[in-house]
Amino acid sequence: MAIKWSAVKVSEAMDEVEQQVFLADQFIAEARTKAQAAKKIPNLPQYMEDRINSLISQIERIDKIKSVLQSVRDNIPKADLEEQRRLAEYGSQQSLV
């Protein structure tokens, strides 16, 4: 059964999201490095180290974002995506029905 939503539009949207995540990933990696360096500050009290560990944990959620993005991609019906792309090559026409 053909889907009623546009698999192509969803795929293209995920391409855009992925590009933004890729751009953010560079900054997030730097933030992670700086937070890890902060844990090495001499005489850092345990409660501060705990909070920095929590910060690092939240920073690492970018990996979860990547896995959810992949999950969206994996759930796009491949056959419908290919069919919609094939039909788009011929241009769009208004339905007579």
The pLDDT tens digits of the residues spanning 2-24 come to 778 999 999 999 999 999 999 99
Scan for tokens 């005489």, then name that residue.
43
Instruction: Please count the residues of the chain.
Output: 97
Residue boundaries of the structural domains of the chain:
7-77
Reported as a single tens digit per residue, the pLDDT across 67-94 is 999 999 999 999 988 989 888 887 766 6
Distances (CA, A) of 76 to 6, 21, 88: 10, 20, 17
Which one is predicted more confidently, 93 or 32?
32
Q: Which residue has the higher pLDDT, 80 or 37?
A: 37
Quote the pLDDT of residue 62: 85
pTM of the model: 0.69
